[in-house]
Amino acid sequence: LYKSGRAYPGILKFLDIVYPPRCPFCGNITNQKICDLCKMKIHYIKEPRCMKCGKPVETMEQEYCQDCAKQKHIFDQGRGLWIQKQPVSRGIYQFKFHNKRYYASVFAEEMMKRYGEWIYRNEIEEIIPIPLYKAKQRKRGFNQALLIAKELSILSGIPVNENAVFRIRNTKPQKILNPMERSRNLKGAFGVKKTWEVKNKVLLIDDIYTTGSTMDRVAKVLKKAGTQKVYFLTISIGQGL
């Protein structure tokens, strides 16, 4: 079915007939990846945005969002595609918990359209997905960040490494915790494989960015291993001014 991570064109056409592409946000059949109605509803993150995490800010003069103005992040810079609100949040939920794996190609394509130049400008050497705890990944059946990372790798030509970073222990869902609890929750949660060939500039991939606790924890272990610059890309990003 697949060769080098991509399905053969004839099989893709057959699958499109049997299982026609659907918009990841409303589920309606569309040949445009994202239907016209949802394109009008989703909120692409544009300037002005936080120079650090990419959250939207009120004016061009405002360099950082409230979160980044208050705390020093370990990651160097990040970007997100859309604001985390409906219908984006519904699409991510379907992607993660209802086995809509093919949404990964839509999200990766949008990332490349919006941030391909940013990726190349930052001279990214390797794409690294945020890992899930093994038991959680077995239960879900896949790691959503890895699916996006693989698709982005195909589009960008930058290699993906799913084994560079691993999760040492299970953690509580970040969404149920406050910022201080999130940081404590992830303490000692990640490690870097000793056999990993250290890259100077890497790009982390995850589904949602909120306070940056996860990105900071992974950036910390990567920089301890010798990485110089850590960037990130996510499907969505929380609102913050």
pLDDT at 170: 67
Render pLDDT for 101-160 as a digit per residue (tens, 0 to 9).
Answer: 999 999 999 999 999 999 999 999 999 999 998 888 888 899 999 999 999 999 999 999
DSSP state string for the chain: -EETTEE-HHHHHHHHHHS--B-TTT--B-SSSS-HHHHHHS-B--SSB-TTT--B-S-TT--S-HHHHHS--SS-EEEEEEESSTTHHHHHHHHHHS--TTHHHHHHHHHHHHHHHHHHHTT--EEEEPPPPHHHHHHHSS-HHHHHHHHHHHHH---B-SSSEEE-S----GGGS-HHHHHHHTTT-EEE-TT----SEEEEEEEEESSSHHHHHHHHHHHHHT--EEEEEEEEE----
Pairing mode, if any, of strands 229-237 and 77-83?
Answer: parallel
Question: Does residue 66 carry a pLDDT above 70?
Answer: yes
Per-residue confidence (pLDDT) for residue 140, from 0 to 100: 87
Residues 6+ apart with CB under 8 A from 234: 78, 79, 80, 81, 205, 206, 207, 208, 209
Longest CA span, the chain: 53
Taking the C-alpha atoms of residue 128 and residue 17, their distance in angstroms, rounded to an integer, is 33
Annotate 19-48 with b (16+ C-beta within 10 A) or e (fewer): eeebbbbebeebeebbbeebeeebeebeee
**Per-residue confidence band for 8, with pLDDT thresholds at 50, 70 and 90:** low
Mean pLDDT within 11-25: 67
Average pLDDT of every residue of the chain: 88
Task: Among 8-17, 22-31, 187-196, name the one with the lowest average pLDDT.
Answer: 8-17
Neighbour tally for 157: CB within 10 Å: 7
The predicted pLDDT at position 234 comes to: 98
Q: What is the pLDDT of residues 71-95, one digit of tens each?
A: 999 999 999 999 999 999 999 999 9
- pLDDT band, residue 3 (cuts 50/70/90): very low
DSSP states along 131-180:
PPPHHHHHHHSS-HHHHHHHHHHHHH---B-SSSEEE-S----GGGS-HH
The whole-number pLDDT of residue 107 equals: 97
What φ, ψ does residue 95 adopt, rounded to 5°? Answer: -60, -45
